[in-house]
Chains A and B, each alone.
Chain A
Amino acid sequence: MQPNELDNLLSPIRDKLTGIERKSDTRVFLPCEAEHVSEICRFLFEDLGLRFVISTGIDAQDCFEVLHHFSDDESGCFVTVKAFIRDREAPVLDSITPVIPGAEWIECEMHDLLGIEFRNHPHMRRLILSDDWPDGVYPLRKEIRT
């Protein structure tokens, strides 16, 4: 995707982004604060018709990052929304599952493995961890050593 084309496409949500990182024609990262994530993802999925690929939850020491990866299959371009969750004690993010049903599992997985709450998730439950796994132990956090 060319820079001009990208700017035009993203203009309706430009004020919700903290930047546009264009690493190549086919790799674009859209950093944003946590409160805007669902609106941005709704825009990409519904208005631009991008395909939801998956989300990556990251324990980045001073914050949590949730990356929602989308693909524009017409141009082969990955568009990744990078949401920063600053509150490490009680990380919360709006769920995108009400808009994108395909995100249901991965949000449950990030809840299990990183302890991130997803507000308005329609069916939050244990997906990866067993029912007798202790509360408050999140395997993908950096303090858990392998």
Chain B
Amino acid sequence: MTEGSVGDLPPIPTIGPVSRRVPPGGARRDWQAGEVVGVRDETARARTLRLWLPTGHPHVPGQHYVVRVADDEGIRMQRSYSVASAPEPVPLGSSSRSSSQGTHVELTVDRLDDGFVSPILHDDVRVGDSLEVRGPFGGWFIWHGDTPALLVGGGSGVVPLMSMVRNWRNRGSDVPLALVVSVRSPGDLFYSDEYGPESTIVYTRSAPAGWPRPPAHLDAATLAPLVERLAPAGAVAYVCGSAGFAEAASQLVVEVGMPAVSVRVERFGPSG
């Protein structure tokens, strides 16, 4: 068969609309010096760095920054870390979110002992240090807050989801949202005082005393009622965690009725 013209071709399948909006100040994101203005331990292995960015492009919940560190020989390593904080509100009197006003962001960093970057961010970085950062990046695993959302995170996969939840709370939003967080044990739970009625915590190895559900992997029974409520409302599911968790959890949400085209997955690599 000879094609008459490209216009006669069958449509190429697509996933989702393009939800990225071209950022103010253009698409190019340059490196800038971020000042460490706060440090907080979330768990024994996770630490949140609060940064002041003089060129503050506002982020969309779900986006990440790239952090770059150099060693004494000038060898540079860079890693991506999701933003945990909600976007800062626009100051009163500001007509638009300009790219020059500066902003704070919080990045939560999981420690990987044999990594290059995360041990520095855990062991060496102090308040007052300056870090090279670039961002925010990400145009798929982002939530503008205007569609119902099912958020499913494993371990450190909760970080971009917490940015979404914090933003949803700050805005007093009535958009339906549910958060499921899976962790091994209570000591592995990030942001442990921030979970409200919208949240379900799943413990896989050990649960707090009196916890109603015995420790077990995330299962269909936990997800099914949430999907039943949210899928008919047109929800998008955001699944984030290690490759193994993301694969298993994304298959599960589809099994219990979420259309695969409505599932966005962020697989955290082992880069440290």
Q: Do A and B come from one complex?
A: no
B interface residue numbers (CB < 8 A to A): none
